[in-house]
Amino acid sequence: ETGVTQTPRHLVMGMTNKKSLKCEQHLGHNAMYWYKQSAKKPLELMFVYNFKEQTENNSVPSRFSPECPNSSHLFLHLHTLQPEDSALYLCASSQAGGRAGELFFGEGSRLTVL
């Protein structure tokens, strides 16, 4: 248990569906992140939020839409995805002053796009 909870853990969706991934952190952190991990590839940083404000978008296609309503919650809204978007989506959080920026990761949401 890392203090970062992701739901759902598994999701199967068609290319025309709209779904959302949810991340909640119980650590009092102020920064949250979305990473994508495709098969046999390194983790890719997608988005960074600091105090609810997006500070980084790593050239992510617009079919991925993040939302950060407060410092404890982060969503990734998905629409009209492609099969190549199938991957493990990982959420993380961090806090200044905590072990020099240690990131705490959730267990991930495994997405399959049919």
Partner 1 sequence: DAKTTQPPSMDCAEGRAANLPCNHSTISGNEYVYWYRQIHSQGPQYIIHGLKNNETNEMASLIITEDRKSSTLILPHATLRDTAVYYCIVRVPPESNTGKLIFGQGTTLQVKP
Binding site residues, partner 1, CB under 8 A: 2, 4, 29-31, 33, 42-43, 45, 48, 50-51, 55-56, 88, 90, 92, 94-96, 99-108, 110
Q: 104 forms bridges with which residues in the sheet? A: 93
Nearer to partner 1, 67 or 98 (CB): 98
Nearest to 26, CA basis, from 75, 92, 72: 72
Nearer to partner 1, 29 or 66 (CB): 29
Least separation, in Å, of the C-beta of 16 and partner 1? Answer: 27
| Alpha-carbon dihedral angle through residues 65, 71, 72, 77, given to the nearest 10 degrees | 0
Q: How far is CA 25 from CA 30, 69, 82, 91, 112, in A?
A: 10, 13, 28, 9, 24
Nearer to partner 1, 12 or 15 (CB): 12
Least separation, in Å, of the C-beta of 33 and partner 1? Answer: 7
Question: What letter would DSSP give residue 84?
Answer: G
Least separation, in Å, of the C-beta of 18 and partner 1? Answer: 25
Least separation, in Å, of the C-beta of 9 and partner 1? Answer: 10
